[in-house]
Amino acid sequence: MNLNYHSKLLEAAVAEFSRLPGIGRKTALRLVLHLLRQEKETAEALGNSIIRLCNEVKQCNICMNISDSDTCHICNDSSRDHSIICVVESIKDILIIENTQQFRGVYHVLGGIISPMDGIGPGDLTITALEKRIKQGGVKELILALSATMEGDTTNFYLYRKFHAPDLFMTTLARGVSVGDELEYTDEITLGRSIVNRIPFEVKEQ
């Protein structure tokens, strides 16, 4: 549907919306017409929040998480264990891990993973900043929480080669059968790894 919008303002808004991922021109038009039907304040609130976001949001100068101030709330939190750094690809991973409420250490956002196919090398990631944090001392454990893909494994290997030392414990996320999954529907590679890396059976006393 290649419509002629006649209104330059409408056309501009549709064009901008359709640059967002997963939003085509048809959806963009639906969103724009929805905004036109709303009170002027509703549309302005959306526009202003986008402009404020891109102008005011900062990057934490320690872990590269997004933050409203120079250092993020996690790096500023003295009740967290700053000797354990969890290395993640993106800020979204921090949101997801924080949501589990199982981790009380701090993070480091790599900003991607090594992927020669996409032209992303170690130099494009925040590995130098991570090196600086480790050299400052006090870091006991580095958790590599990257994707379980070939690129993730490559990056894990690179980081291991770069940072492994007797006084730095390097770990990675456990791979295995998902909680609630039936064995029948678990893929062979995951099942194979979970047999090789089997763990002692424990009965927790309530």
What is the C-alpha end-to-end distance of the chain, expressed in Å? 62
**Rounded to 5 degrees, what are φ and ψ at 182?**
-90, 145
Considering the complex, state which of residue 5 and residue 163 has its C-beta at the smaller distance from a copy of itself.
Answer: 5
Instruction: Compose the 76-115 pattern: x for residues touching a copy of itself by CB under 8 A, - for all others.
Output: --------------xxx--xx-xx----------------
Q: Shortest distance, CB of residue 7 to a copy of itself, whole angstroms?
A: 5
Distances (CA, A) of 205 to 86, 202: 30, 9
Q: Which listed residue (63, 64, 72, 146) binds a copy of itself by CB under 8 A?
A: 72
Q: Shortest distance, CB of residue 52 to a copy of itself, whole angstroms?
A: 6
Residues 10-49 that bind a copy of itself (CB under 8 A): 10, 12-13, 15-17, 19-23, 27, 29-36, 40, 42-49
> Under the rule (CB under 8 A), what is the footprint of a copy of itself?
1-10, 12-13, 15-17, 19-23, 27, 29-36, 40, 42-57, 66-68, 72-74, 90-92, 95-96, 98-99
